[in-house]
Structure 1
Amino acid sequence: MNKPEYTFSDLVHIAGYGSRIFKIESYRIEQCYAPDEEWSEIVYDLIDTQSGQYVECDEEDMRLADGSSVDEAELDGTGIDIFDFMGGLGNVDINPDIDYSEIYNVNEAIKRVEAEKMAKEPRKPTARELSGQEAERRKQARKDRAKRVDELLDEMNDYKRLVAEFGDEEYKAKVEYLTIKLAEEVE
């Protein structure tokens, strides 16, 4: 059985994650079987020390980040680890026309796109927020109605004074019209 090379709380770099540092939270040893062979693998559960992102990683894709086995100068900031992690891939031809940093940064790109999408989509209000908005709308409607009633009453009182002073039929018709409007507003 394999003995773990790293232990809990070790700080490590992971292939493909550039200079990001991860902390080992736990690990598990998986026993694998095939018709012709059997083997065991150690899989580590890691947490990004900056973002809190959870990552699972095989032991061969990690290097200590304490400076003893990782030279920080080997990290070029492009998101590509300069470590030699390609040994298990056999003969791989490197195509100079492909920006391999994009391949290694797929997870980062996906997160960026999802964050931008969430930022563009308006957040759905909670039931409490909807209830508060409805209560505010009703309160404003009551205030608006009370204001219209006050304005109608003021105008009607003005025309009643004019009727009392001049007795004009036009002013009486206006008082009747305002009485009807006031009754409609109150209902």
Structure 2
Amino acid sequence: MKFFDKFSRFSFVAIVVIIIGGIVEIVALATPYWTLSSTHTLGNIGHSGLWLNCRRTQATVVTTVSCSSYADAIAGWMVAVRALNVIGMIFASCALVFMGLFTFLYSEKWNKIIRSSALISALLAGSLVIIGAVLYGVSVSQGKAPVPYQVVSAKYTHSLSWSFALSLVAAILFVISGVIMGFAKTPRINS
């Protein structure tokens, strides 16, 4: 345990928090449950995410779900949401690398720069993911379809689902990780 006493506990906590946030964001990006679609008569008829659109069809006995990727032409707001989330994930990965360097690599010359880079990268990651989630939520609540020229009928109800919530949780974890990193002390290697 003496080995770990040389390093900042705050930076360890920040690393754990950003790893958890990264895992949560990967799940949010990969799952097609950002939106649930339903009708008053049929109930739940499908769900969609950033990459897939799934439709539920019910025969007399069997219910099937078929998923397909969006067409080549997707709406601009959907492209922006995808880009913001993926770039946010890249910044979170950079923050993790900087946090690791700050925690395990002692350099008097570079420590402040590395810590600042980790903090800024984590805060930027959280901000980008939050902006992407807000853009998605606003677009869905306004009834915009992810595919241009697709008519969104008033008989369908779209509600945000758990993948959307996971993305917000990941963004909050990224921001918390950046704030924790701001309190990290310089490692004491020589003591």
Tell me which of the two structures has the higher relative contact order, counting C-alpha pairs closer than 8 angstroms and 6 or more residues apart. 2
**TM-score, scaled relative to structure 1:** 0.25
Larger Rg: 1
